[in-house]
Amino acid sequence: MTAPRKSQTPAATASPEAPSCPAAVLAAAARAHVALQELSRTAALEAAGRGDGALDGAGLSLQWHPGSSPDDLAEAAFRFYAEAISEERLFRQGRVHCYACGEPACEHSAPPSPGAVCTGYESTGRPRWQEFFGYLLELGDERADRLFLERAEILARVVGRNRLIADQLTTFGRNAFTYRIWGQVVAGYLQVRNTRAALSAQVVEDKRHRLHLQVVATDELREALADAPDDRRSAFTRVYDALAEARNQLAALNSVWQHGNHRADAVTVRERAFAILRHLAHSIEQKGRQQQRRTSHAEMRGGQNRPVHKAYDDVVAATAQDFYTDRFKGSTIVAGRAGRVHAFNDTGRHVTSLMLTGDEFSRRCARGRYVPYAGGDPEAFRASVLARLPEADAPER
């Protein structure tokens, strides 16, 4: 059923040329029509803070059949007006959309200091920020002082949508899909040069109902994460990996959300999104602790485990499918046995060897870091490696 436009009154529908429609049916339709106009008005007011008159150009059209539920009608009408006030905008890296200015590049959209996290929106749709430490206190997190111990811990918290939009008015984007935050993880501190930096990782839905993991932080922190050394003892590498994992999980969830029935899936998908956020918070904290627990002794042991001496054997034994290109580092990777991985520069010089535990290797492939060797003939590359590998690297031949 399509809600008739306002100008189309029931009287106009009941033209003399259509005498076959009985008066009782016309009367019932007139009552339904009034009820639908009321639905349209209320939905517009609740979703956008405006009457549907102000949104006339929007052209609400509703599907109805005897089996559909009132909830379906409500959801469809509300969603329609929420979408009508939304804009399709490219997200800016590291920033939050500012509904007050209507853009993601104003002075309000970025953290005002490296240690600030996003705490949602002010009534006027302006992003709100707070020092991570103070926000943890506000959330009643008793661990906050651990941020300042000599061996400081990295802490993380999940924050839900309701808290973020508690003060935001409907007229300033409360229900909009321009940048709809479902929830976020706030985490810190990471030491970037001489400053303590924090981040907010948000699950955000856009106007086309795609889900994004938006990492909100200063450029310096985002660069430090992107340039993290290929060393799992680095807090940056661990946090980077945790974010990459969350992004992969969210991409999988996104395809369910994109192709499913929004109303039927809403609860499940939201729960799964929060499971991703909880897992992200947990793994950021765990990775932070692991970093702190490591002693120099453990690092030394880690060094002894480096499988450099196996490089020669592994390169000899590698099949063509064991050669990869590392798109982040621009190096060539040879996958060896038992999780050993060897990296070479483009002239075949051995750069480093490492152990990738668990599913780390497949995760690097899944996120497009390791791709099948893109440098030409693997045999030619193998020859250049073997010609260069020093004898000392092949003690077990």
Residues found near Zn ion in the complex (CB under 5 A): 98, 100-101, 106, 108
- For residue 119, the minimal CB distance to Zn ion (Å) is 15
**Residue (129 or 236) nearer to Zn ion, CB:** 129
Residue 99 beta carbon to Zn ion: minimum distance, rounded to whole angstroms:
8
Question: Where does 147-306 have alpha helices with state H?
Answer: 161-164, 219-226, 235-259, 262-293, 296-305
- Two tokens at 389? 């590998």
Name the nearest CA neighbour of 184 among 120, 239, 135. Answer: 120
Shortest distance in whole angstroms from residue 112 CB to Zn ion: 12
Question: Distances in Å between the alpha carbon of 270 and those of 146, 253, 294?
Answer: 31, 10, 36
Residues 155 and 141: beta-carbon distance below 8 Å: yes
Shortest separation between residue 173's beta carbon and Zn ion, angstroms: 11
Residue 185 near residue 276, CB atoms below 8 Å: no
CA 379 to CA 385: how far, in whole Å? Answer: 10
C-beta closer to Zn ion: residue 77 or 164 = 164
Q: Closest separation between CB of residue 152 and Zn ion, Å? A: 33
Rg (CA), the chain: 28
Helix (H, G, I), strand (E, B), or coil: what is residue 197? strand
168 vs 283 by CB, closer to Zn ion = 168
Closer of 173 and 307 to Zn ion (Cβ): 173
What's the min distance (Å) between Cβ of 121 and Zn ion?
11
In the bound state with Zn ion, the residue whose beta carbon lies nearer, of 100 and 137, is: 100
- The HSE-up count of residue 212 (CA atoms within 13 Å, CB side) is 22
Q: Which residues of 247-286 are buried (b: 16+ CB within 10 A; e: fewer)?
A: bebbeebbeebeeeeeeeeeeebbebbbebbebbbebbbe
| Nearer Cβ to Zn ion (127/348) | 127
